[in-house]
């Protein structure tokens, strides 16, 4: 029963036991009927009515076309439909929005290439309608057209239409050639022109976006065509075909000047924005993206490898108009004569163009656009910007304007020749200002003591305005401050020191003091100048090594142009190591010394500096004026790093002599306290190694020592020889000082005087107040050298503290003068320092002698260097020997090749006059 019930519920079996397949749409339709339905569907798709269509039905129609070998008919029909649609869009939507105002004309050469248009692979002239009602065979027969002939015909038609369209560009509408920076038409009409162009661009954008959306839908319907027919026939897929058709019928339309209006409007919109007006960037971006998407046809080049229309056409036009714009703008801006404003404008232009590339231009344009800006705004005008009067680099450095300099460096760094041009500008400025600093010194030196103070200030004003450190010259000139004279808040010894020596030695004294002051000022100016550029290098030039090299070269040039630079630098160090560093921390001391070393590095003649430095160091050590041994040794350590151990060997020997002398004096004092062979007064002796000290002479100075001093000298010599055998002591009276207690009419004073001054004072010890001694008497009794004696007597009789009276009165000591002991001498201080008048700056004669000694020493150094090299190398060519000698001596001085050659010849002659003939003229052994 169950089985019967089941059988009764079944459907009757069909014949053969198989289900019949559903009826396929389109099989009963003819080819024209299928095309009619499919073409209506295409129209509906591009009218945005695709939702009303059956995707499966239309897909089947396209499938049947391919299945029955009618793909060519379908492909050609689709081309025709799309062309008709695009033509209608151009006529109804795009053409009415053409701008009526002026716009930029296109550069020549923007034409369609002479090749096959890949989008026109079949003639759209093939008539599908003619096949209507004539059956399938007729339709297929009509589609049997030679596709190659059709391609060539379509390409020729496209090229002809394209050339014709471009040829008529200049005759239709109003165009304006880009003049660079000037308004396109009336500037007041910029907003109206921007709006007119915006309407066209927005319309083209809308047409493009609608077309892309609809073509994407159509490509789904033609999916089978793309998968089967297109690869078999070598055609373009429906999507790429649609893009090619859009390119040929919209931007390259044969009927309407869309190409000229589109490109001209885009270029006009960009220029309007460059001139400062606001445009619709979104519309511009969409149209440019459209041009990037569309490919440019190239014969025998696969479509995937083709360049875009944007790259092939629009970008060259854009760059060409940009060249004209920025070339004209640069000329106009530079004519205003303000370099800083021009650089600000250039920087703004770079930022604006980078923003355009980011927002709406293609990124591939960025590099070419940047190179364009760098060339026409910078490279072509680098020297003009640097040399611009009243606003160029000299003005920027003078004012100063660090922000403008930083901008100049940042922009110049973009171009190849930017930094070299900037380097030359920096070198020119530093050299010129350095020459003014040197000129101030030279003018004062030429004027000498006749130069009045206002004139001096005027000359100095030509240099770099800095605050000069106060030197000790005012102190040693004896003027001092009133507080020092009265001893207010000061140590008596210090107050006495500051008031010693009211007048200078002879006529040249004022000039000497003035030159010393100027020497210190010169170094201060150079240091301030260098500090300014050190800061500038870091803040404005990003520590650029090329700029740093230019600054160093310029400083080295002008510093070595000052022949007295080594002496001036040594004087500056002397000033700071005497009292300028008192009260400073160790870090501050090191900073001052390090700043000085920076200038020292620029010196070529470091051996000249060494000679002056030894002289000044000797005076500091022997006069107990050095601020500290640590500061002295710190300075020597820096010099050792710069020039090596040999350079500071003698300097370190001087410090060691002072240390050993202190130890010897302590031991001698302890021995004196025992009472054995004691001296009549306290004696402190500095034992100096003659080869280390510049002012020490090994020749015995035959002065006549007073009896009291002779006994003390003998006592110390006996003590010293008991410790060191085989050594000879030569007493240097010119380097000693003495503290002597003198009784005057009202009170006693303790005077600190030179040894020579003490010897002169002791001659008045047994004389009455009314008795006198002549200059000749004093010289005969002491046998002191004339120059030294005159300076000693000047300090006693012509300074502020007149311990001796001179007849006749005057500032100079003559051989006919008489001297009296000033019994009525009074002073507010109990302890007075009467320093001997010694010029800190060399006289012309002393400088001449120094130069002669330096030249002699250089000859010895060169000889030693040559011998050392030849012992090591055995055989060497002349040119190689000269170069090696110059290299090894460069840490001390820079010998010329001629000087080295002269020393080589001298050595050959000294070894054997006959050996010259045996040597090759270019080789030595």
Question: What is the model's pLDDT at position 188?
Answer: 53
Q: What are phi and psi of 662, to 5 degrees?
A: -60, -40
> Per residue in 150-163, pLDDT tens?
444 344 444 444 44
Among 684, 654, 680, 653, residue whose Cα is nearest residue 666: 684
Among 140, 116, 123, residue whose Cα is nearest residue 78: 123
Q: What is the CB-side half-sphere exposure of residue 61 using CA atoms within 13 A?
A: 26
Do 61 and 38 meet the contact criterion of CB atoms below 8 Å apart? yes
User: 505 is written with which tokens?
Assistant: 């030695």
As to burial, measured by CB atoms within 10 angstroms (0-12 exposed, 13-18 middle, 19+ buried), residue 233 is middle
Enumerate the H helices of 68-189 as residue ranges.
71-89, 135-143, 147-167
Question: What is the model's pLDDT at position 697?
Answer: 62
> Per residue in 663-698, pLDDT tens?
888 888 888 777 666 777 888 899 998 888 987 665
Cα separation, 369 vs 356, whole angstroms = 10
Instruction: With residue 175 as reference, give the H or E element that holds it.
Output: strand 175-176
Q: What are phi and psi of 413, to 5 degrees?
A: -65, -20
Question: What is the model's pLDDT at position 151?
Answer: 42
How many of the other CB atoms lie within 10 Å of CB of 900? 21
Q: How many residues does the chain have?
A: 925
Cα separation, 292 vs 312, whole angstroms = 10
Cα separation, 367 vs 362, whole angstroms = 11
User: 676 is written with which tokens?
Assistant: 């054995």
Which residues, in sequence order, are bridge partners of residue 175? 103
Q: How far apart are the first and last CA of the chain?
A: 136
Which residues does 674 contact at the CB level (< 8 Å), separation at least 6? none
Cα separation, 454 vs 620, whole angstroms = 32
Question: What is the model's pLDDT at position 227?
Answer: 94
Cα separation, 45 vs 52, whole angstroms = 9
Which residues does 498 contact at the CB level (< 8 Å), separation at least 6? 475, 480, 481, 484, 490
Question: What is the CA angle 804-805-806, rounded to 5?
Answer: 120
Among 659, 653, 475, 437, residue whose Cα is nearest residue 555: 437
How many of the other CB atoms lie within 10 Å of CB of 60? 20
Cα separation, 40 vs 31, whole angstroms = 14
Do 129 and 73 meet the contact criterion of CB atoms below 8 Å apart? no
Which residues does 302 contact at the CB level (< 8 Å), separation at least 6? none
Do 436 and 510 meet the contact criterion of CB atoms below 8 Å apart? no
Do 378 and 416 meet the contact criterion of CB atoms below 8 Å apart? no
DSSP 26-76: TTTS-HHHHHHHHHHHHHHHHTT-GGGS-HHHHHHHHHHHHHTT-HHHHHH
Cα separation, 480 vs 103, whole angstroms = 82
Q: What are phi and psi of 300, to 5 degrees?
A: 65, 20
Q: What is the CB-side half-sphere exposure of residue 510 using CA atoms within 13 A?
A: 11
Do 808 and 817 meet the contact criterion of CB atoms below 8 Å apart? yes
How many of the other CB atoms lie within 10 Å of CB of 40? 12
Tell me which residues of the chain have a pLDDT lower than 70.
Answer: 1-28, 101-188, 299-304, 445-515, 580-582, 675-677, 696-701, 837-843, 911-925
SS (HEC) of 103-129: EECCCCCCCCCCCCCCCCCCCCCCCCH
């Amino acid at each position: 029963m169950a089985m019967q019930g089941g059988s009764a519920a079944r459907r009757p079996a069909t014949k053969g036991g198989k289900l019949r397949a559903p009826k396929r749409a389109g099989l009963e339709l003819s080819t024209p009927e299928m095309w009619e339905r499919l073409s209506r569907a295409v129209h509906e798709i591009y009218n945005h009515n695709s939702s009303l269509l059956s995707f499966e039905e239309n897909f089947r129609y396209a499938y049947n076309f391919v299945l029955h070998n009618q793909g060519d008919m379908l492909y050609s029909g689709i081309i025709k439909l799309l062309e008709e649609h695009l033509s209608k869009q151009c006529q109804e939507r795009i053409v009415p929005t053409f701008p009526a105002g002026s716009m930029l004309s296109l550069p020549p050469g923007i034409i369609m290439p002479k090749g096959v248009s890949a989008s026109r692979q079949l003639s759209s002239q093939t008539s599908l309608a003619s096949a209507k009602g004539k059956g399938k065979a007729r339709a297929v027969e009509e589609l049997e057209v030679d596709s190659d002939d059709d391609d060539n015909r379509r390409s020729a038609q496209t090229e002809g239409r394209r050339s014709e369209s471009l040829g008529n560009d200049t005759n239709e509408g109003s165009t304006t050639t880009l003049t660079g920076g000037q308004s396109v038409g009336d500037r007041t009409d910029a907003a109206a022109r921007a709006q007119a162009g915006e309407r066209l661009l927005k319309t083209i954008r809308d047409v493009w976006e609608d077309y892309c959306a609809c073509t994407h839908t159509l490509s789904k319907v033609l999916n089978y065509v793309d998968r089967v027919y297109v690869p078999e026939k070598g055609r373009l897929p429906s999507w790429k075909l649609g893009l090619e058709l859009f390119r040929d019928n919209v931007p390259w339309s044969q009927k309407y000047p869309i190409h000229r209006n589109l490109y001209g409007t885009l270029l006009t919109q960009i220029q309007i924005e460059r001139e400062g007006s606001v445009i619709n960037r979104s519309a511009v971006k969409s149209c440019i993206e459209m041009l990037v998407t569309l490919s440019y046809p190239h014969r025998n080049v696969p479509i995937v490898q083709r360049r875009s229309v944007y790259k092939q056409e629009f970008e060259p036009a854009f760059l060409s108009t940009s060249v004209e714009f920025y070339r004209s703008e640069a000329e106009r801006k530079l004519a205003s004569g303000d370099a800083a404003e021009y650089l600000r404008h250039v920087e703004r232009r770079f930022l604006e163009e980078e923003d355009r590339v980011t927002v709406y231009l293609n990124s591939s344009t960025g590099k070419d656009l940047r190179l364009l800006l760098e060339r026409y705004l910078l490279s072509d005008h680098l020297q003009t910007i640097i040399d611009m009067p009243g606003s160029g680099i000299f003005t920027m450095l003078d004012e100063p304007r660090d922000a403008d300099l930083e901008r100049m460096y940042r922009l110049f760094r973009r171009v190849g020749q930017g930094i070299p041009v900037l380097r030359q500008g920096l070198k020119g400025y530093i050299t010129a200002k350095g020459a003014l600093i040197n000129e101030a010194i030279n003018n004062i030196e030429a004027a000498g003591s006749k130069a009045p103070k206002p004139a001096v200030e005027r000359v100095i004003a030509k240099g770099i305005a800095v605050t000069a450190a106060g030197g000790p010259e005012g102190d040693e000139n004896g003027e001092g401050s009133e507080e020092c004279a009265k001893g207010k808040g000061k140590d008596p010894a210090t107050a006495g020191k500051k008031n010693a020596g009211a007048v200078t030695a002879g006529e040249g004294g004022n000039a000497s003091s003035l030159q010393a002051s100027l020497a210190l000022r010169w170094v201060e100016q150079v240091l301030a100048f260098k500090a300014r550029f050190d800061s500038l290098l870091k803040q404005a030039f990003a520590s650029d090594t090329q700029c740093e090299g230019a600054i160093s070269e310029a400083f080295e040039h002008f510093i070595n142009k000052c022949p007295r630079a080594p002496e001036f630098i040594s004087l500056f160090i002397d000033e700071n190591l005497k009292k300028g560093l008192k009260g400073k921390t160790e870090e501050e001391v090191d900073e001052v010394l390090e700043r000085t070393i920076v200038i020292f590095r620029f010196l070529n003649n470091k051996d000249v500096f060494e000679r002056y430095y030894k002289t000044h160091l000797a005076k500091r050590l022997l006069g107990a004026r050095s601020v500290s041994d640590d500061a002295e040794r710190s300075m020597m350590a820096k010099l050792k790093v710069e020039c090596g151990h040999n350079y500071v060997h003698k300097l370190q020997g001087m410090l060691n002599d002072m240390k050993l002398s202190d130890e010897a004096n302590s031991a001698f004092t302890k021995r004196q306290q025992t009472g054995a062979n004691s001296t009549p007064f306290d004696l402190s002796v500095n034992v100096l190694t003659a080869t280390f000290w510049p002012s020490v002479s090994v020749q015995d100075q035959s002065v006549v020592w007073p009896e009291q001093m002779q006994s003390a000298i003998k006592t110390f010599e006996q003590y010293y020889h008991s410790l060191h055998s085989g050594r000879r002591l030569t007493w240097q009276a010119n380097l000693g000082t003495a503290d002597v207690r003198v009784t005057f009419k009202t009170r006693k004073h303790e005077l600190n005087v030179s040894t020579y001054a003490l010897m002169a004072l002791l001659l008045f010890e047994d004389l009455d107040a009314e008795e006198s001694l002549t200059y000749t008497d004093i010289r005969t009794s002491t046998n002191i050298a004339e120059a030294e004696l005159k300076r000693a007597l000047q300090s006693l009789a012509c300074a502020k503290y007149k311990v001796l009276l001179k007849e006749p009165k005057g500032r100079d000591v003559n051989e006919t003068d008489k001297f009296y002991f000033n019994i009525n001498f009074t002073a507010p201080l109990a302890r007075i320092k009467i320093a001997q008048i010694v010029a800190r700056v060399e006289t012309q004669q002393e400088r001449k002698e120094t130069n002669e000694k330096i030249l002699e020493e250089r000859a010895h150094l060169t000889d030693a260097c040559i011998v050392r090299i030849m012992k090591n190398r055995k055989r060497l060519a002349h040119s190689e020997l000269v170069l090696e000698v110059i290299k090894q001596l460069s840490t001390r001085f820079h010998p010329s090749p001629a000087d080295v050659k002269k020393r080589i010849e001298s050595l050959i002659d000294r070894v054997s006059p006959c050996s010259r003939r045996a040597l090759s003229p270019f080789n030595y052994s």
